[in-house]
Structure 1
């Protein structure tokens, strides 16, 4: 009965979330269903297990959600994201429209700009490029997703994406965990994705297929759609409803000023991770007043938080006079972080209740018993949970909450570098999370004015198949050569 309750609770969560119900309501209900079938105390699991785990997630990661959303809104309203994307697309031109869109998305998201901010800026530019180049509009979602939701989210060393930050407190790692393997995985994802998209473009040209319907994509309507908002809130750290809550600058800054904050994010993150924090005396963190923690448990979050804060200050210094309404921009950025953090925290709370069920021991034993060793079973666990929840961050946190200490013990026993665990876990969470019910996929299709039938196969190939190939390569190389 206990296992049946877990499956039923998960089914309720997935089905109703796909239909646009709020995860804030669904997650505790699904958790109580699982606890009820197991004969466990309902109120205790709701207020102690569920809320305790959700609160810990908020306490750990809200600074990153807040600063990431604020940075993205400042970059959008100042015109910096548009300037960067426009410069890259102008340099490469319509003849390389696919590459232009992919690289523009990769540049802004690796520099710390939220996926949804990037999407709403990139789509109009991609629309113009694809129309001029005669490339079918149905390829736009896959091109944008390849640049914004694959290697810059899960593989590139130092990426400030929340998914790359989640394993750090569990494994004591930095954002630059397993950098060599991360770069290799990024090259595989980018190379395979571009190969597929260029192949699809060539086949479309041979068939005489052009851009297609001239109707512009309903960008504003997608941002304000409440169903899309509920789905999107569990997928990324920015609430789409805040996209139009503040005015934009009349023009765009010079490209060097526009790109400067992105370099600050990467540079400060590297400096904090490799030089400042490793040489910092943080013995005081072991005191009860600081929660009895260690520098290894907080250093990764501190590094990304300082990098984003430094970039925000640089952005304010360079764009203060250009922002029409600074307070509205700051308010919209702050507000954009609230629904996503609590939505993902609710998924984490659900996972904590499930992990507390006696029947979960069978699930844990099954996962750990998957052949191929700890790296394979860790990749499978994050893949499955990200697929079921439709959230890379939610699935990853649930997996590590339940199994993180076990994998750390296995790593110590088998001599596996925690950095390798980190990279495998993040790449694993960034594969099957892009199933049809994923909020980012739904939002991207809506903004591009496309449908699953028209565009989803190309998203699967560019974002899921390429990521699975990269994950397999990282596991094979990590198992034979170790972390590098």
Structure 2
């Protein structure tokens, strides 16, 4: 069993190491899955052709259309000049020097409005690109700004429509606003601490001589856009598609599935964007072609990590880890938090951590008479801690597929914002709920 445990964590460690070193996430996940399967006495053929591919294809089938429309929507915003128009408006209102703050706010409004994080990343990046370039802020901080606005406080705070805040409702019989004043205090803590951390890191980078310095492929694309003198669409027409995505999604979600609502909202956004801003671009083929390419890359990146998680869940090592976390004596909220965040870290998925831990833990803790609202909020916060390790699918997608960055350049600020700050906030929540 010692070999199995060593192999399990070696596979997880290799996945994170290879991801940080820039290896293609598909090969990194496959290598990690092979290591885990061989050291845990799984049939290699079954682990890869059944477990891995079931996880891989299951995620692809569920979410590819959302990523496709999200990526196309992002390209429409970019190619029509809508993103630049919004960026110019933001610069006039608050100034380019507050670009990071503007991106965080834009992402949080979309995420709290119910827009899938995958859509948020694609929609926000063109705006962030223009703002960061104008403010001469290092491009490598764009992923951190997007992540901060889309999956930190917005994913785990009271009232959030994100799935990580909704899953605990099923197990604790609570509402999306569960957690009381402690939840609000912790959300404010994440916002304030995360904002300070972002400002500190960006200011230090600028003092050290860093500039916009975007990757070559980004600069080439910017050069092509600037080579043609263009008129930007009015800011009203630029914001309208974004607003309609949020409004349509939230209204339709009351009557159809969340995926169906996302598809409808994005379809409306794309249609309105093209209808109102068609005269500001002639790159229609490029919008759909590049959008489709981006969608495939983004979806497959996440599918690869989900596949690894599916293999890991088949091992005795994984089950023993789960059982050990469940059996932690007398730790109540701490045991719940550890179980959710550790499993989220292993699977590279916040919803995965909740989906595996809560069916086992919730019945046990419910019988102990613990506050269900506190357990709801702690579970949600815990899912947003170690889930953001380098191999997390959304992190990989935002850094590589959306921003064309590398983990080596861009992951450190993401780690500070989405792991360090989130884990401190989780500890604060546990202390406050234990006292009050």
Q: Structure 1 residues 372 and 119 mapped into 2: Cα distance closer, same or farther (>3 Å)?
A: farther
> Displacement, 1:337?
1.1
Aligned position for 1:189: 190
Tell me what 1:467 maps to: 422
In the TM superposition, 1:406-425 aligns within 5 A as 406-407=360-361, 409=363
SS in 1 for 2:42: coil
**2:88 matched to 1:86?**
yes
Per the TM alignment, residue 50 of structure 1 is displaced from its structure 2 partner at its CA by 1.4
Task: Measure the CA separation in 1 of the matches of 2:373 and 2:275.
Answer: 36
Matched, 1:344 2:337: no
Mapped partners of 1:434, 1:48: distance in 2: 26
Matches of 1:315 and 1:422, distance apart in 2: 39
**TM-score, reference length from structure 2:** 0.74
Shift of 1:427: 4.5
- Give 1:388-403 correspondences, 5 Å limit: 394-400=348-354, 402-403=356-357
Give secondary structure in 1 for the equivalent of 2:232. Answer: coil
- How far, CA to CA, are the matches of 1:263 and 1:89 in structure 2? 20
Instruction: Give the deviation of 1:480 after TM superposition.
Output: 9.5
Deviation of the 1:336 alpha carbon: 0.7
Does the 8 A contact of 1:89 with 1:100 survive in 2?
no
Q: How does 1:258-269 map to 2 (within 5 A)?
A: 258-269=238-249
Give me the whole-angstrom Cα distance separating, in 2, the residues matched to 1:363 and 1:356: 12
Partners of 1:169 and 1:341 lie apart in 2 by 22
Task: Tell whether the 8 Å contact from 1:217 to 1:449 is kept in structure 2 after alignment.
Answer: no
Gap change, CA 1:449 and 1:352, over 3 Å in 2? closer
Instruction: Name 1:34's counterpart in structure 2.
Output: 36
1:106 positional shift: 4.4
3-state SS of paired residue (2:84): helix
Please report the TM-score for the alignment, with normalisation by the length of structure 1: 0.68
Matches within 5 A, 1:129-168: 129=135, 146-147=148-149, 150-152=152-154, 155=157, 164-165=162-163
Is residue 25 of structure 1 aligned with residue 27 of structure 2?
A: yes
**Aligned partners of 2:222, 2:202: CA distance in 1, in Å?**
34
Give CA deviations for 1:155-184 in whole Å, capped at 9, x if unaligned.
Answer: 58566xxxx3578689769xxx72476876
**Which of 279, 283, 286 lines up with 1:325 in the alignment?**
283
Q: Aligned residue for 1:238?
A: none
| Cα distance in structure 2, aligned partners of 1:270 and 1:435 | 30
Out of 4, 29, 46, the residue aligned to residue 44 of structure 1 is 46
**Structure 1 pair 458/330, CA: closer, same or farther in 2 (3 Å)?**
closer
Q: Deviations over 1:71-116 (max 9, x none)?
A: 2222222222222222122111357566445435545676755436
Determine the C-alpha separation between the residues in 2 that align with 1:471 and 1:218.
34
Match of 2:18 in 1: 16
Cα pair 2:322 2:339 within 8 Å, conserved: no
- Partners of 1:324 and 1:84 lie apart in 2 by 20
Contact persistence 1:79–1:248 (CA under 8 A): no
- The DSSP-based 3-state class of the residue aligned with 1:260 is helix
Whether the aligned pair in 1 keeps the contact of 2:163 and 2:351 (CA below 8 Å) is no
Any gaps of 5 or more consecutive residues in structure 1?
225-240, 278-298
CA contact (8 A) 2:156 2:384 kept: yes
- The answer as to whether partners of 2:232 and 2:280 remain within 8 angstroms in 1 is no
Show the 5 A alignment for 1:426-445.
427-432=381-386, 439=396
Separation of aligned partners in 1, 2:139 and 2:288: 34
Counterparts of 2:238 and 2:397 in 1: how far apart (Å)? 25
Aligned to 2:235: 255
1:6-405 alignment to 2 at 5 Å?
6-93=8-95, 99-100=101-102, 102-104=104-106, 106=108, 112=115, 113-115=119-121, 118-119=124-125, 121-129=127-135, 146-147=148-149, 150-152=152-154, 155=157, 164-165=162-163, 178-179=176-177, 186-196=187-197, 213=209, 216-221=212-217, 250-273=230-253, 275-277=254-256, 299-370=257-328, 376-377=334-335, 379-381=337-339, 383-384=341-342, 394-400=348-354, 402-403=356-357, 405=359
- CA separation of 1:158 and 1:109: change in aligned 2, threshold 3 A: closer
Query: Residue 398 of structure 1: CA displacement?
Result: 4.3
Residues 343 and 356 in structure 2, CA contact (< 8 A), matched pair in contact too: no
Unaligned runs of 5+ in 2: none
Residue pair 2:301, 2:396 contacting (<8 A) in 1 also: no
Mapped partners of 2:341, 2:184: distance in 1: 20
What are the superposed Cα offsets for residues 117-150 of structure 1, whole Å, 9 maximum, x if unpaired?
Answer: 634542442343368xxxx999887666544563
Over the residues paired in the alignment, what is the CA RMSD in angstroms?
4.7
Give the whole-Å Cα distance in 2 for the aligned partners of 1:262 and 1:249: 25
Measure how far apart 1:338 and its partner are: 0.9
What is the aligned residue count?
420
- 1:195 CA drift (Å): 4.1
SS at match of 2:255: helix
Whole-angstrom CA distance in 2 between matches of 1:25 and 1:448: 18
Q: Distance in 2 between matches of 1:118 and 1:462?
A: 18
The SS at the match of 2:316 is coil
Q: CA deviation at 1:322?
A: 2.5
